[in-house]
Structure 1
Amino acid sequence: YSTKSTNHYPSIFIYGHRASGKNITLTVLHHSSSSLQLPHATVSCVECVSVALLFEQVLLSFFGCDAASLLPRSPSLSDFVRIYRQQCSQSPAKQTRYIVMEKAELLRDTDANLLPALLRLQELVRKCSNLIVTVVDCMCVPPSVCLFIGELQQILSQDRHPSYTAEFYSSYINILLGVFYSVCRDLRELRHLAALNFSKFCEPLAEGKVKETDTHKLWRNIEPHLKKAMQTVYLREVSSLQWEQMQQMEEKESGALRGLSAHTHVELPYYSKFLLIAAYLASYNPARTDKRFFLKHHGKIKKTNFLKKNEKTSNHLLGPKPFPLDRLLAIFYSVVDNRVAPTASIFSQISSLVTLQLLTQVSHDDQLDAPKYKCAVSMDFICAISRTVNFDIVKYLYDFL
């Protein structure tokens, strides 16, 4: 619709899976500054950890530092509306102002009336200015909204290599999606994986061993390589060239490092490594053993009393068990080298591990008071991570007593 029209929707809600085009709104606004002259404020709800920062960012973008400085130390929504009205009367806008909030689902953790009030902000300030609040990616998208495999296949096939036919590249994309679609439906990540592994897929052709139509032999050649690459989904710790170099080095190595994939070399923040170690211990150790492993003055406990009678099944064979957040933090504070205060940074690193799929949240999103997780890494991975922080994890594993 026309930007000069006075009949605007008070808010626009844009949602969708990653790489589905939500940020086209930001692209239009950023590139229209000179042509359409659309005043806008872009607010990242991840960076604005408080309501005060959110209000300050909006006023700063529209009116400058002087307007932002008028906010009190702990501003309310009424304070923001009052200052906004005052600034609009002094500096009226010729065009509609736009507030774009990214990751606005985080506003649900603030006051219950904040997000509804922001969505109806035009009603509060319409006497002095047209205003549209655009909410980008307000909530998680159900699986039915994600790109289907057929759509992904069509999009990825458009990136075909000019040296090969469209049918050949399409067959490669089908093989790639057959491996990765169950764990990754992010278009950007799949495009990265397609470019990363295509040279390996073409190796038998370059050597003259097979033809383009021999899909079965091409599949057998690429399958082990794709399974290793699946362990690095979302990590992006290596570039395409580095991945090939590490694979060549891996084939030459022997001993303890032989057979480990590139994901064991991933670099994480220092405390994230200990959080992941704590998560692994919580997943594979029974909760009743925490006192034995992590309490310094637990007294003498005989091994015969400590172990259950006839307990022979390995916890590693049974797979990781879910654990609550408080148990993860208790183990983390026990194994980390120095004293760490429970800050927001620690909790954000847990969220990052979930995003990287190194941890899996098994509780529902509405169970905010007691979230539960599972560790999603292998024994080789956690041993490699433990070595980087000089932590002997084997001594703390129940299966290796």
Structure 2
Amino acid sequence: MESDEVGLLENLVEEHPGYAKFIDDILMLTSSYLPPFIYINDTTNPRITSSVLDSVFGRLSQPQDWEYPPVRYARVNAVACFTARLFYDSVLNTLAGWKVRWQEGCENWPGDGQRWNDSIDSFLHGLKALHDSTGSSSHTVHKGKEKAPVQDQKPVMVIVIEKAERLKENLPELIIPLTRLAEMSQVNISTIFLSAVRWEDIKPSLGASPDPYYIDIEPHNKQDTIERLVSAFHSASFSQLSFNGINNIYHPALLPLYEHYAAMIYSICAVYTHDPYELQYIAAARWPGFVKPVLDEHRQAQGLARGDQSEEDQELIAIELAPPSEDQRMWLTRYFTPSITAALEALHPRSISAGEWALKNMPEPNLLSLEVVPRPLDRTKLGQKDNSMEHLPRMSKFILLAAFLASTNPAKTDVKMFGRGAGERKRRRRNGSPRKGAGRGGVAKVGFCSWLMEVPLLNSFSLYKKVPQRLSGPAPFPLDRLIAILGALLEENDVEMRPPAPDYVFPGEYTEMEIGRVQVYAAIGELTSMRTLYRTTPPEKLDGPPMFKCGIPFEAAQALARELKVPLNDLMWDPV
């Protein structure tokens, strides 16, 4: 491959991180033989794939000295083109580069009153006329190491149909002709369907359509998504964008800080969305406020440097903008992390625009120079009276208590702390020593979850007496263990608060119903968004239950236990 082709591939890959293989496949097909029917399936980000196709075929439509043939490219949306005439006119006008103008009567191509939108027959004749009207090209192709000019090479026509699955609802009669467009029109044309569903879901029956050339787009990984967010910084830096009078928010010197910022945005928001467009929207809303303390400090330093100089020398003083120190970067991350979640909740459903949200959430001036910096939300004080847990529902408070016990107690102690014997309550230990008389072969049974079913009691747990778990930090636990402990807490401490339920006659039946409700899992998701629970496994991991860690300290758990009248110390393996 010559240097021009290598440069084209490198530029396209740099513009679209994560699409290197896809771009290489499209360029290879275009340079050799572009199949008449291609089906591209992207289940996660079809909008980005559409922009990649625009970039590839947009570059190839420009006359250059490379091995690729000339291209005429049109992209239409099956949602916007909901009638056959709209589809025909959109394709022909875009392929011909024709602009529909109100001053000229909104005439379609070719502008002489001739119509190509009456039927599929006239559309095929329009494609043929457009192909014949295209002049000869002085394009060049490669033959070995030499370039041979081709004077009469006709361009390849490419039609990309975005959201192709909507053709089955709006224009089902066009699916078969579009898949056989090259055969029926007898011109060099390729039809590309881009969809989030499989071809088998929209494929016409009776085998009337040929099998397409399949291209599957793999989902973005974490690094590709972060690189795409960072690539948006380069575009904004080139455009020298400002916000509300704040200049240099996309200064090239701030690129290292933005890379850490993009990683922070992904780590917080990826639990809810992986769409790079959504993440970029949230990042653009929070970035002006995130970088404002750095710019304020730079402006202060520049003012102090100029204050010691004469008026003639002040204009010559210019301190270069530099990224903040590591300590300042970590402080900015801690300070603005809660606001990222707030931005996600407001911007993802588009309750407010990004610009309006950014204006309402701008930090105070000179934030880094304050002696006592205010904290937006101190998670270590959640146990105090004035905290965000005061207004939580009762079930959410029980979930937090269960999460605290799951993160504090060893998993093997659950049966001893929460289990029941043959109808009688087992007394919990308080001092770390096992109950006397408990044999090695004893079995405890309890409902709610397999975590507490038929687990043999152990004689000694001296392994866990070395370092108390509450001092070594919260330990991760699976979701089913959390649900099991929640059921045990509800059964022992919430019976008196329940409404009458005569339909449930068996012990534990009401609790089993309560912990299986959807609202319990919705409450767990809400607590995760509040950062009182932390999910330690990525959402895309399918093997095994999701893992969590408790995010509240002992003081907060103790306050919740007092409010719910739960004997917290009796339920801890190493009580305080």
Q: TM-score, normalised by structure 2?
A: 0.35
Q: TM-score, normalised by structure 1?
A: 0.48
Which structure has the larger Rg over C-alpha atoms?
A: 2
Q: More relative contact order in 1 or in 2 (CA 8 Å, sep 6+)?
A: 1
